[in-house]
Structure 1
């Protein structure tokens, strides 16, 4: 309270502030004016009993007058009403005790009144607990005195003082004034406090109403943003699906060297655009708080080789030496975690290392720090000899849509989302990303991850080489394709013809249901956003068919949507799996073969 108040202050306005509650303000006022009244009353009593020769009462009144003056000065300098109230009540209790047992050696209306004043003051100032304590301290000694006086008569070797009628009148008048003042002052403050609470409650209700509206508006804004991103994603991914798909088809047709080079440039550019779209969508998913981490088994060594396989080619094209070192202790172990998110983190770190390194080396190391049989602590580090990062900018690089500087953005391109995604993915798992960097010497990003591990050993002889797909079992399959985009229809026809799969095209969901009613198919590839009837409704209608074989036909959703809960919606609609557009031909074929094999 009021630490800047001068020692010579006597004003009440300097020890009361608006930040204090009405009740505390009232308590300070009560002490301020109450101490002043007690000082006057004790001074008047001192004069009265002193000239009557009542020395014990005179000493008591004189002590009370000086004590009250000290408390008044303490209040106007450091207004700690709680401590001052205790000090005053302790003094009042001792004075009541001394008057009954020493000064008067009797109980009269004045002593009873003084006890009542102490009891009321203690409850108003300090609350129920301390009020009870001071009530007992003042009443028990009086009751004890009455018992002694009744049984044997109270006698000590000190002659009691005798007070005249004038002193009694002064004492009664002072006590009545104090009682009235305490009640009226505190009653008024209680009313103001109740009014303040009511006003605060009304203000809180108004704020809650505004907050609810703000939350509702924010939720609508978030939903609108998600729907916008989903729509834009669909509109961008759909033509990208055709561009990348046709590039794959043309490259599968043994093009001439110059054609192959042009196709690789086309595919590279399309994949770059797709990566930008995916970064924006992934960041939106992370920021929405709806990202769920998987806990599935995977081979870490194989995962790292797959992640870095394509990056080695990118590094080689720039003339960089790319080195991947995987600790031998991590080979042939089955780990549990989210390989997709690990891939995302490592891929972004390696991509950045290659992007910002013009000459020299890029090292990727995966080291086993601690092996505790069922858990392994793995350190992932990506180091380069690139441009480095100034220390002042090391926090900025993790902000979304931000790079170290405008010059960096112009020279190297990119959205500035890679490291933001990495940071947030690691933060969500409680992991810390360490950064070491020197300008023109390079940077190193590293993090430690604890992964559960199985005691099982991976059979290395069962893996299918990367890029090769077993096509056995797909020949002659009848596939119903529900797709309204003619470019995608043409792409699917050409792709499926290379796998000797027989396609039937339905231009919307309603036609797909009709085809299923009159024909038999091994599997359905269902686009989700179509006119007349969408893919969700079409799948629901097919699942309701009377023929069990038709009702249980495998359905793979083909979607360019980026809705966060699209996976859940697909499975809720009764579909078996989904593939995001643009899709990888091998991924689609593997899912077709696996689902058909289960029927």
Structure 2
């Protein structure tokens, strides 16, 4: 602010409230009134030859002028108000106890001025303080005078009636000015609050509509993803399923190679679809972390089992190092999400490493009997990451550079999913990387520990084929509710390998009709079908009067991406579900378990 400023417009800031602006205006215009009143008082007492009163009035005029200048230079109205009230209190008490040694109408007016000014300018607490600071000494003076106990060695000065008239008039004008000024400010403030309240109500309505629109948009997005997932997974189910069937038929070496490529490409496409769906599920806040028992060593072996083959195909050394302190521990946590995190890190390490090695480590950092803290680390000797790109690699749909994307492929969602899953648990990923030397991704998790002890590992038999034995399903009566002819053909071919001849229902309504007169061991129920969907068909079957029919095991076959699909399947009375594209052994295992449990 310019020191030589005298304009009020330059000290009124738009961000100030109406009341604060009113306080500054009161000081600005009030100083002028007080200065004029003091000037009249000074001339009156000066010509009456009253030196003390003249000096007091002159000093007050100088103080008012200085405070006015200070206000136009730095509009600190609180500080100026305290100074004014302090000066007014000193002058008032000095006038009563020393200069005039009496309480007259001007004294009463000054006390009223102090009360009004202090409450309006500084609020209740300070208003009470300054009011009592002026009132109590004056009351004490009146009591002392009444008891004839007040005597000082100073001759009081007596002003004439004209001076008293000037003082009374000036004080009344100031009181009226303060009340009028703040009355106007209060009315404006009330009107502003009313307008703001109306605007806020209108904004709340808009906000509610925006929330409703966002919820509908989220629902539409969820339904769109479910539909797209179904439309993509359905043909993928046929591609992967037919590839499995052809590989079961002892193809020639050149055919086997082509089938491997076909299956590899289909699985890559499926992985991309799964990444997008997983990321959307995480971003929508619909991830719930489980607390179930599992053995960390077994989990890591299962995660890395399939990855070792990929690493060896690229000529990489793959090492899994698990702390011996963890080998007999049974811990509580979410093995599915932990698998997702480590699987993504290991897949990336193999993808971006052309030679050298990949290490997976699990180290026990702290064992407190009831809980353990485990450090997980995935290290590679791959292409590495530039320091300036370390933050960006965790952003969705982002890789280190466009060159990386073109050379190695992928959606750029793997690390974004990892980061979000860790953040939802309050954890942080640590990255160390050097270009052309490799990278290391690590994080720490605290797990509650079960009192159980994991059984000692036993020698595992050699891995069997992923395709179940051909005679394991012989004699099973299976009803398949499926509207897609390609999937019907695939299921017939697959079940024929297990000596099963299924009955086909082209929609849910037809499945219910067939169940009414037919006897089956299990139903494989597609969820999205015309006429009647799989949910409604299952509900109708559960209502059948024959207990054997009403309690038949039902497995949902779904290509949907709805986040609450498991809950919907359970609510419809189905026993389990298998996501398309499914693995033949997974399907047969669930069929056998459910049939055996009946």
TM > 0.5 fold call: yes
Structure 2 residue 375 is matched with structure 1 residue 379? yes
Q: Equivalent residue for 1:298?
A: 294
Displacement after TM superposition at 1:185 (Å): 1.2
- CA pair 399-411 structure 1, distance change in 2 beyond 3 A: same
User: What SS does the corresponding residue of 1:594 show, helix, strand or coil?
Assistant: helix
Gaps of at least 5 residues in structure 1 are none
TM-score, reference length from structure 2: 0.95
TM-score, reference length from structure 1: 0.95
In 2, the alpha carbon distance for the partners of 1:102 and 1:463 equals 108
Superimposed CA distance per residue, residues 48-105 of structure 1 (whole angstroms, 9 cap, x where no aligned partner): 2133232332333233222222222221222111121111112212222222222222
In 1, the alpha carbon distance for the partners of 2:12 and 2:275 equals 57
In 2, the alpha carbon distance for the partners of 1:314 and 1:93 equals 89
Q: Equivalent residue for 1:580?
A: 579
Q: Equivalent residue for 1:535?
A: 534
- Of 168-177 and 6-15, more deviation after overlay is shown by 6-15
Corresponding residue to 1:184 among 180, 189, 207: 180
In 1, the alpha carbon distance for the partners of 2:533 and 2:105 equals 93
Q: Equivalent residue for 1:29?
A: 25
**Where in structure 2 are the equivalents of 1:4-43 lying within 5 Å?**
5-43=1-39
Corresponding residue to 2:451 among 440, 443, 455: 455
Q: Is the 8 A contact 2:472 2:498 kept in 1?
A: no
User: What SS does the corresponding residue of 2:453 show, helix, strand or coil?
Assistant: coil
Displacement after TM superposition at 1:479 (Å): 2.3
In 2, the alpha carbon distance for the partners of 1:465 and 1:141 equals 103
Superimposed CA distance per residue, residues 113-138 of structure 1 (whole angstroms, 9 cap, x where no aligned partner): 11111111111111222222222222
Q: Equivalent residue for 2:313?
A: 317
Q: Equivalent residue for 1:566?
A: 565
Displacement after TM superposition at 1:462 (Å): 10
User: What SS does the corresponding residue of 1:455 show, helix, strand or coil?
Assistant: strand
**Where in structure 2 are the equivalents of 1:269-348 lying within 5 Å?**
269-348=265-344
Structure 2 residue 219 is matched with structure 1 residue 223? yes
Q: Equivalent residue for 1:355?
A: 351
Corresponding residue to 2:394 among 375, 398, 402: 398
Superimposed CA distance per residue, residues 559-593 of structure 1 (whole angstroms, 9 cap, x where no aligned partner): 10001122221112122221111111222222223
Structure 2 residue 163 is matched with structure 1 residue 164? no
In 1, the alpha carbon distance for the partners of 2:430 and 2:463 equals 32
Q: Size of the alignment, in residue pairs?
A: 595
- Of 132-141 and 405-414, more deviation after overlay is shown by 132-141
User: After the TM superposition, which parts of structure 1 deviate over 4 Å for at least 4 consecutive aligned residues?
Assistant: 461-475
Gaps of at least 5 residues in structure 2 are none
Q: Is the 8 A contact 1:334 1:455 kept in 2?
A: yes
CA RMSD of the aligned region, Å? Answer: 2.1
Displacement after TM superposition at 1:461 (Å): 4.7
Q: Equivalent residue for 2:232?
A: 236
Corresponding residue to 2:133 among 131, 137, 143: 137
Corresponding residue to 1:442 among 438, 445, 464: 438
Displacement after TM superposition at 1:492 (Å): 2.0
Corresponding residue to 1:152 among 129, 142, 148: 148
User: What SS does the corresponding residue of 1:456 show, helix, strand or coil?
Assistant: strand
User: What SS does the corresponding residue of 2:8 show, helix, strand or coil?
Assistant: coil
Superimposed CA distance per residue, residues 348-374 of structure 1 (whole angstroms, 9 cap, x where no aligned partner): 111111111122212221222222222
In 2, the alpha carbon distance for the partners of 1:247 and 1:458 equals 39
Q: Is the 8 A contact 2:99 2:157 kept in 1?
A: yes
Q: Equivalent residue for 1:57?
A: 53
Corresponding residue to 2:422 among 423, 426, 432: 426
Displacement after TM superposition at 1:468 (Å): 6.6
Superimposed CA distance per residue, residues 481-501 of structure 1 (whole angstroms, 9 cap, x where no aligned partner): 211112222222233333344
User: What SS does the corresponding residue of 2:588 show, helix, strand or coil?
Assistant: helix
In 1, the alpha carbon distance for the partners of 2:291 and 2:585 equals 24
Q: Is the 8 A contact 1:559 1:581 kept in 2?
A: yes
